[in-house]
Amino acid sequence: MSDNDINPQITVSGGPLIVSGGIPLVRASIKVEDKHSADWEIGAEIDTEEHRKPNGDYWLCRCGESKTKPFCDLTHREIGFDGTPNPPEGTYAERAKAYPGTGVVVHDDRSICEHAGFCAKHRDNVWKMVGRTEDEAVRAEMQSMIHRCPSGALSYRPSEDAEADEPDYPVRIAVVNDSSYWVTGSVPVVVNGETVETRARRTLCRCGHSDIKPLCDGTHEKVGFADR
């Protein structure tokens, strides 16, 4: 077994995302109920075999214009794609605002939100619910909503000095319909030769227009990005 087989990694190049280590690639979509994001629907695994390079890597489109989405077809070279990284400065802990509740502390980093919508339902939302977490049912529902946040903008922990309570996400890249790449399983992301802060979940831009590349900031919805 080669190092490439046991070291999953995503490298951000000036063009595509270079995916190493045989990371599974799947389709995903958001299940909507009553006009609100309710849950994830994980679809079929995408066959990467014909798109693999001799070393086993495969390339994912970052410019949003590939004719072979989600894979890169080098269109970024034709359109003059500017893939310059511009992620938020500092760490998640430094950027996130804390919202203490009963038996839980919610952390929220608005700078990396991709607006997937799992944080709100009807006239309620996570920020209102944290003030009612003395009710165990409310707390459990709020925690479930936070777990669905793909970017990890929202997280929670039992107390301020505890580790964040993260689900056991699989090592996987989910290609979200007309949206971002949802990367789970603490996959390292390398930018300009340096590994950025590794987190259990994050979303990476694939429309080409995010202001915080390589991360997603929800711009795909504003520009009408589509998989087709």
Bridge partners of 188, per DSSP, are none
Same domain, 143 and 118: yes
Same domain, 105 and 42: no
- Based on its alpha-carbon atoms, the radius of gyration of the chain, rounded to whole angstroms, reads 18
What is the dihedral sign for C-alpha 222, 215, 13, 3? negative
pTM of the model: 0.95
The CA distance from 24 to 46, in Å, is: 8
Instruction: Let me know if residue 162 belongs to a domain.
Output: no
pLDDT in tens, 82-96: 999 999 999 999 999
The residue segments making up the domain with residue 208 are 3-87+168-222
Same domain, 82 and 13: yes
Same domain, 64 and 99: no
Buried b vs exposed e over 101-131: b needs ≥16 C-beta within 10 Å?
A: beebbbbbbebbbbbbbbbebeebebeebbe
Flag whether pLDDT at 167 surpasses 80. Answer: yes
pLDDT in tens, 128-158: 999 999 999 999 999 999 999 999 999 999 9
**What's the pLDDT band for 184 if we cut at 50, 70, 90?**
very high
Structural domain tally of the chain? Answer: 2
pLDDT in tens, 24-48: 999 999 999 989 999 999 999 999 9
Same domain, 102 and 148: yes
Cβ pair 190, 145 in contact under 8 A = no
The per-residue pLDDT for 56 is: 95
Query: Pick from 196, 203, 205: which is nearest to 61 by CA?
Result: 205
* Residue range 100-121: mean pLDDT, rounded: 97
Residue type, 23: I
Same domain, 179 and 150: no
Query: Pick from 106, 77, 95: which is nearest to 14 by CA?
Result: 77
* Domain boundary pick from 100, 129, 157: 157
* Residue range 74-103: mean pLDDT, rounded: 96
* Domain boundary pick from 104, 137, 157: 157
Same domain, 101 and 172: no
Query: Pick from 62, 106, 95: which is nearest to 219 by CA?
Result: 62
